Amino acid sequence: MNSTERKTWNEEHKRLTAMILVPSEHRETVSLLLRLHSRLHASVGEDGLAGYEDTLLLNITEDTLRRYPVQSSDTRNPVVWHLWHSARIEDITMNMLVAGSRQVLEEDGMQNAMRIRFFHSGNEMTEEEMAELSREMQVEGLLEYRRAVAQRTREILEAMEPGQFRRKVEPERILRIREQGAVTPQAGWLADYWSGKTVGGLMLMPATRHHFVHLNKAMRIKGALQRAAKEKRTRRT
pLDDT the model gives residue 231: 86
pLDDT the model gives residue 12: 98
Q: Is the pLDDT of residue 84 over 60?
A: yes
pLDDT the model gives residue 237: 67
Q: Is the pLDDT of residue 48 over 80?
A: no
Residue 66: closest CA among 132, 114, 111:
132
Give the chain's domains with CATH numbers: 3-235 (1.20.120.450)
Q: Which amino acid is at 56?
A: L
Strand, helix or coil at 69?
A: coil
Q: Is the pLDDT of residue 49 over 90?
A: no
Other beta carbons less than 10 A from residue 231's beta carbon: 10
70: left (phi over 0), alpha (psi -120 to 50) or beta: beta
Q: Is the pLDDT of residue 45 over 60?
A: no
How do residues 85-124 score in pLDDT, each as one tens digit? 999 999 999 999 999 999 999 998 899 999 999 999 999 9
Q: Give the mean pLDDT of 149-169.
A: 97
Q: Give the mean pLDDT of 183-192.
A: 97
> What angle (nearest 5°) sits at the alpha carbon of residue 104, between those of residues 109 and 179?
105
Q: Is the pLDDT of residue 8 over 70?
A: yes
pLDDT the model gives residue 40: 95
pLDDT the model gives residue 81: 98
Please say whether the beta carbons of 84 and 210 come within 8 A: no
Q: Is the pLDDT of residue 46 over 80?
A: no
Residue 198 backbone dihedrals phi, psi, to 5 degrees: -90, 170
Please say whether the beta carbons of 174 and 194 come within 8 A: yes
Beta partners for residue 198, in sequence order: 168
Please say whether the beta carbons of 28 and 19 come within 8 A: yes
Contacts (Cβ under 8 Å, ≥6 apart) of 230: none
In Å, what is the CA distance from 119 to each residue of 70, 162, 183, 189?
24, 33, 9, 17
Please say whether the beta carbons of 93 and 207 come within 8 A: yes
State how far the Cα of 42 lies from the Cα of 147, in Å rounded to an integer: 7
Mean pLDDT value across the chain:
94
How do residues 16-32 score in pLDDT, each as one tens digit? 999 999 999 999 999 99
State how far the Cα of 114 lies from the Cα of 22, in Å rounded to an integer: 39
DSSP run (H or E) holding 235: helix 209-236
pLDDT the model gives residue 147: 95
pLDDT the model gives residue 234: 80
DSSP state of 151: H
Q: Where residue 232 falls among pLDDT bands split at 50, 70, 90?
A: confident
* Maximum Cα interatomic distance, the chain, rounded to a whole number of Å: 63
State how far the Cα of 69 lies from the Cα of 172, in Å rounded to an integer: 37
Cis? peptide before 69, omega within 30° of 0: yes
Q: Where residue 229 falls among pLDDT bands split at 50, 70, 90?
A: confident
pLDDT the model gives residue 236: 75
